């Protein structure tokens, strides 16, 4: 076959291009057909619908139904942080600050953020003044938290030095720190606060709710590093704590603290307390205790030094009970002011024991029982009294129950009911053994004697008035006060408590301390309880000196009475209390002038009579009350 024929057969066997693409309207058999344009339209439409759905969803989430996701976002960026508030100020009765809150800074960190930058921890540890391993350990223990205090209550300048290192995740916040300007002198009365500014002891604890106030709160937005980028709103405004004005007089408090400290140094005693009370109102003007502590640096103080012994510690009151024993006898009618007591031979039996006097005083009248402090005569009086009557009489004066001052931890003392008395109890109680009381209780009992027999509850808050109770007939109270006045005069046991220009009524006391075996040791507690001035009583004061060195003297008239004199001399002048013994003052001045003239060789004028001096009494009274007390005596 020719080549031409073969070529023609091949051409006839292949379909034409037009036939293949259907140009002639023919469709190939056995193959799927598609429309490219329709497919493009379908894809475009699908994408458009998806875009529309996304836009709609975004509109729904961001505009229409955005509350849920907004809350979720806020939960991750919005924070509610506290607004610190200052604690109320405590002042004395004259407005002098005793406790104030000063602004400080606290450094805190975000452990999650800090642990992301371990290379910065050495710088931070150095700035904080702590070892790196300690800082790392603290952060690791709170790795899942967002807040950790790193250093609290520091000076703002110190805080800025720490922040200057710009360690990621380290911030500061404002707080307040308590400061006590009077330091040790008022530590036991005020107490102190903890690191969270909450009262822990003393009046800081008693009035914590009033002083603390209520912290506020605000909402802020923080960025990823924990920085505040925006304050959103105020949730709750901070309410500052209320101020508190005390009955304490800062000047008298310092006098009591100073003189008590001097007494402990002079006598070698281990502890002491002093309480000064305003007789007419029951206000506590001063309350000092030793040993004491610095409330501005509590951590380094032994716990035992923080105890307010004047309120919490009970002691056997010793001979300070004798005026009450005499008052009970007068009220029961078993004795009179002129009754005579035969104390020979200086002792009286008390079961298997003896009640003895310091020496044989022989025959004493009722005044002499108090002036000479006779245990024997007190025992004779109490034997004439019914047990229940004597118990109830002492209970009326506040023994055996809390004074009601509101001070935390105040003690009620011990006054056992007659059913629990042994055969010797009543006799020993007559001169201050077999019962116990706090120095505050003794001070209030003496204030009742001076206040016409009216017992007032003590108070530490100025302006607070509590209802008193009439516990003794005013006439009997006046009789006992006159007897107590002889204690500080010639022949009494507390002449060192006498104050020139004023009549002082008081009573010494010396009680033996218990030993480990349950008996009494040769260690002592020395007391003096007194009232001044007698004509118009203003102050009641109790001084307790615990465990003075016997070799240096331990009687109350020698150890505690001088403290009373020094404190009361200053207090009378500070409070402008008029003298009630001008004649003695004038006589002392005349004697001093005569000695001066004699020493200089001048002629000593003849002494004038009291009547001749009478016209000058009023002017001298004004002069004495106006005498200023040296600044060194009233300023810490």
Please give the pLDDT value at position 118.
87
pLDDT band per the 50, 70, 90 thresholds, residue 636: very low
541 beta partners: 276, 530
Interval 466-484 mean pLDDT: 95
* Catalytic-labelled residue, pool 86, 101, 106, 319: 319
pLDDT band per the 50, 70, 90 thresholds, residue 634: very low
Structure tokens at 629: 């007390």
Provide DSSP, 481-510: HHHHHGGGSTTSS-GGG-BTTB--EEEEEE
Q: Identify which of 17-31, 135-149, 519-533 has the greatest average pLDDT.
A: 519-533
Please give the pLDDT value at position 140.
87
Please give the pLDDT value at position 31.
54
Please give the pLDDT value at position 276.
98
The strand pair at 244-245 and 90-91 is best described as parallel
Interval 146-162 mean pLDDT: 86
- The C-alpha atoms of residue 442 and residue 431 are separated, in whole angstroms, by 14
Please give the pLDDT value at position 635.
34
Please give the pLDDT value at position 105.
86
pLDDT band per the 50, 70, 90 thresholds, residue 214: confident
Q: Is the pLDDT of residue 124 over 50?
A: yes
Tell me which residue of 540, 402, 462 sits closest to 203, measured CA to CA: 462
Provide DSSP, 13-37: HSPPHHHHTTTTS---TT-----HH
Tell me which residue of 523, 519, 514 sits closest to 559, measured CA to CA: 523
SS3 sequence, 591-610? HHHHHHHHHHCCCCCCCCCH
Please give the pLDDT value at position 627.
42
- The C-alpha atoms of residue 119 and residue 126 are separated, in whole angstroms, by 13
Residues 239-264: tens digit of each pLDDT: 888 999 999 999 999 999 999 999 99
- CA 147 to chain CA centroid, Å, is 31
Least confident segment among 223-227, 255-259, 266-270, 384-388? 223-227
Are the beta carbons of 483 and 370 closer than 8 angstroms? yes
- The C-alpha atoms of residue 67 and residue 69 are separated, in whole angstroms, by 6
Least confident segment among 66-70, 169-173, 196-200, 565-569? 66-70
Please give the pLDDT value at position 169.
84
pLDDT band per the 50, 70, 90 thresholds, residue 232: low
Structure tokens at 605: 């004028």
Please give the pLDDT value at position 619.
45
The alpha carbons of the chain give a radius of gyration, in whole angstroms, of 44
Tell me which residue of 313, 269, 317 sits closest to 291, measured CA to CA: 269
Residues 333-357: tens digit of each pLDDT: 999 999 999 999 999 999 888 999 9
Tell me which residue of 573, 555, 531, 565 sits closest to 256, measured CA to CA: 565
Please give the pLDDT value at position 81.
65
Please give the pLDDT value at position 32.
54
Question: Does 430 participate in catalysis according to the annotation?
Answer: no
Structure tokens at 360: 């044989």
Structure tokens at 240: 């500052």
Q: Which helix (H) or strand (E) holds 233?
A: strand 228-236
Give percent of the chain above pLDDT 90.
Answer: 55
Q: Is the pLDDT of residue 625 over 50?
A: no
Are the beta carbons of 315 and 434 closer than 8 angstroms? no
Q: Which helix (H) or strand (E) holds 84?
A: none
Residue 629 or residue 222, greater confidence: 222
How many Cβ atoms are within 10 Å of 94's Cβ, its own excluded?
11
Please give the pLDDT value at position 630.
40
Residues 360-417: tens digit of each pLDDT: 999 999 999 999 999 999 999 999 999 999 999 999 999 999 999 999 999 999 999 9
SS3 sequence, 335-376? CCCCCEEECCCCEEEECCEEEECCCCCCEEEHHHHHHCCCHH
Provide DSSP, 46-100: HHHHHHHHHHHHHHIIIIIS-HHHHHHHHHHHEEEEEE--PPPPEE-TTS-EEEE
- The C-alpha atoms of residue 432 and residue 511 are separated, in whole angstroms, by 8
Give percent of the chain above pLDDT 70.
Answer: 83
Interval 53-68 mean pLDDT: 74
Interval 538-556 mean pLDDT: 95
Residues with Cβ within 8 Å of residue 312, at least 6 apart in sequence: 409, 410, 411, 438
- The C-alpha atoms of residue 25 and residue 47 are separated, in whole angstroms, by 34
- CA 118 to chain CA centroid, Å, is 44
Least confident segment among 63-72, 111-120, 498-507? 63-72
Residue 607 or residue 627, greater confidence: 607
Please give the pLDDT value at position 111.
87
Q: What dihedral do alpha carbons 528, 529, 535, 539 form, nearest 10°?
A: 110
463 beta partners: none
Q: Is the pLDDT of residue 540 over 60?
A: yes
Could you identify the residue written with the tokens 């406790």?
99
Residues 84-114: tens digit of each pLDDT: 788 999 999 999 999 999 888 888 888 888 8
Q: Is the pLDDT of residue 443 over 90?
A: yes
């Amino acid at each position: 076959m020719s080549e031409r024929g073969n070529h023609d057969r091949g051409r006839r066997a292949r379909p034409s291009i037009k036939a293949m693409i259907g140009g002639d309207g023919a469709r190939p058999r056995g193959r799927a057909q598609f429309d490219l344009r329709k497919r493009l339209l379908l894809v475009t439409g699908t994408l458009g619908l998806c875009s529309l759905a996304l836009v709609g969803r975004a509109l729904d989430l961001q505009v229409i139904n955005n509350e849920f996701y907004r809350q979720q976002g806020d939960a991750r960026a919005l924070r509610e942080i506290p607004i610190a508030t200052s604690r109320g100020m405590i002042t004395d009765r004259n407005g002098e600050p005793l406790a104030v809150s000063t602004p400080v800074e606290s450094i805190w960190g975000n452990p999650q953020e800090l642990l992301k930058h371990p290379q910065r921890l050495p710088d931070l540890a150095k700035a904080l003044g702590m070892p790196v391993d300690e800082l790392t350990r603290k952060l690791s223990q709170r790795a899942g938290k967002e807040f950790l205090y790193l250093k609290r209550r520091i000076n703002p300048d110190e805080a800025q030095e720490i922040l200057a290192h710009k360690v990621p995740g380290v911030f500061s916040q404002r707080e307040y720190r308590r400061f006590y300007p009077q330091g040790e002198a008022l530590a036991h009365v005020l107490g102190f606060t903890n690191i969270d500014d909450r009262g822990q002891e003393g009046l800081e604890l008693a009035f914590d709710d009033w002083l603390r106030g209520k912290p506020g709160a605000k909402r802020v937005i923080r960025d990823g590093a924990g920085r505040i980028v925006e304050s959103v709103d105020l949730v709750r405004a901070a309410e500052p704590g209320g101020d508190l004005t005390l009955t304490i007089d800062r000047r008298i408090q310092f006098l009591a603290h100073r003189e008590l400290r001097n007494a402990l140094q002079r006598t070698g005693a281990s502890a002491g307390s002093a309480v000064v009370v305003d007789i007419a109102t029951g206000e506590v003007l001063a309350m000092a205790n030793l040993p004491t502590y610095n409330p501005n640096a509590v951590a380094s103080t032994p716990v035992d030094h923080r105890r307010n012994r004047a309120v919490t510690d009970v002691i056997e009151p010793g001979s300070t009970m004798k005026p009450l024993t005499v008052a009970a006898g007068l009220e029961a009618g078993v004795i009179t002011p002129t009754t005579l007591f035969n104390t020979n031979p200086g002792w009286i039996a008390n079961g298997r024991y003896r009640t003895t006097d310091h020496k044989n005083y022989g025959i004493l009248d009722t005044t002499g029982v108090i002036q000479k402090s006779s245990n024997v005569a007190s025992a004779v009086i109490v034997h004439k009294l019914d047990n229940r009557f004597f118990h109830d009489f002492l209970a009326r004066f506040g023994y055996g129950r809390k004074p009601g001052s509101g001070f935390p931890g105040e003690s009620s003392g011990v006054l056992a009911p007659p059913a629990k008395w042994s055969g010797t109890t009543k006799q020993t109680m007559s001169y201050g053994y077999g019962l116990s009381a706090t120095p505050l209780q003794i001070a209030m009992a003496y204030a009742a004697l001076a206040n016409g027999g009216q017992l007032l509850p003590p108070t530490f808050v100025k302006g607070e008035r509590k209802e008193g109770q009439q516990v003794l007939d005013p006439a009997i109270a006046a009789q006992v006060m006159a007897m107590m006045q002889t204690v500080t005069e010639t022949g009494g046991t507390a002449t060192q408590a006498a104050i020139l220009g004023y009549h002082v009524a008081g009573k010494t006391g010396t009680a033996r301390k218990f030993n480990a075996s349950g008996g009494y040791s040769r260690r002592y507690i020395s007391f003096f309880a007194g009232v001044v001035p007698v004509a118009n009583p203003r102050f009641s004061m109790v001084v307790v000196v615990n465990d003075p060195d016997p070799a240096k003297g331990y009687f109350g008239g020698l150890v505690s009475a001088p403290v009373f004199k020094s404190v009361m001399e200053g207090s009378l002048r500070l409070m402008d209390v008029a003298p009630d013994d001008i004649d003695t003052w004038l006589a002392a001045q005349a004697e001093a002038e005569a000695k001066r003239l004699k020493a200089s060789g001048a002629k000593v004028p003849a002494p004038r009579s009291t009547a001749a001096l009478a016209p000058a009494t009023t002017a001298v009274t004004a002069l004495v009350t106006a005498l200023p007390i040296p600044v060194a005596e009233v300023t810490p």
